[in-house]
Amino acid sequence: MPAITNPIDLPVEELRACRLRNGALVHLRDIRPEDAKLERDFLSHAKLERDFLSHLSPEYRAYRFLGLIKPPSSEVARELTHPDPEEVALIAIVDEEGKPREIGAGRFRPRADGESCDCAITVDPEWQRFGVGSLLMQSLIEAAKSRGIQWMYAVDPVRCLGSHKLAQRLGFQPCSDPEDPAATSFKLDLH
């Protein structure tokens, strides 16, 4: 698969391949319900999702669930590989010793108003600072724009400086969360 430098020009539904800062080739694709039904274990994204969740601390799992903390299980992996039709859910996969490994995931869910959405990304701590989070967020931003969403929101613990820097680099504006002083909310104008 050829490496491309600007995956944003491709539709979200297509598989993309990009070189990360560490030289690794990452494949970014949407999660689909049929991923959990694949018979060949090495392609099963439900298994990839289970393995990914098992590598994450409870704090990082909270990011994966848009704040809702759940322990890793087959049922949770199946839930995450079957997004609602209005959601966009992406995974980042690398080849590790001939087997795919999920190293990141991102998702946005439109709010009831249809003009805004909540988003979250999670990157395996071993793969942070190589561009995985930026790739996932840029793809989510483009998908949200293409669906006519006007505002994108994210919430992170106040102590997550890395994710705060990424959010601000991508144009998100921080604001304190009046409902949770331990969290920082971010808002991105997509107009």
Phi (first) and psi of residue 87, to 5 degrees: -85, 160
Q: Give the pLDDT mean for 72-86.
A: 70
Would 175 be classed as within a structural domain? Answer: yes
Nearest one of 103, 101, 119 to 111, comparing CA atoms: 119
- The pTM score is 0.76
Would 2 be classed as within a structural domain? Answer: no
For the ranges 12-16, 105-109, 174-178, 186-190, the lowest mean pLDDT is seen at 12-16
Q: How many domains does the chain have?
A: 1
pLDDT value, residue 109: 93
pLDDT value, residue 126: 92
Would 174 be classed as within a structural domain? Answer: yes
- Cβ neighbourhood burial of 126 (10 Å; 0-12, 13-18, 19+): exposed
Would 1 be classed as within a structural domain? Answer: no
Domain containing residue 126: CATH number: 3.40.630.30
Would 12 be classed as within a structural domain? Answer: yes
Would 103 be classed as within a structural domain? Answer: yes
Q: With 70 as the cut, is the pLDDT of residue 70 above it?
A: no
Burial 80-89 (b: 16+ CB within 10 A, else e): bbbbeeeebb
* Domain span at 40: 7-189
Q: Give the pLDDT mean for 105-124.
A: 93
Output the six-digit token pair for 71: 């322990």
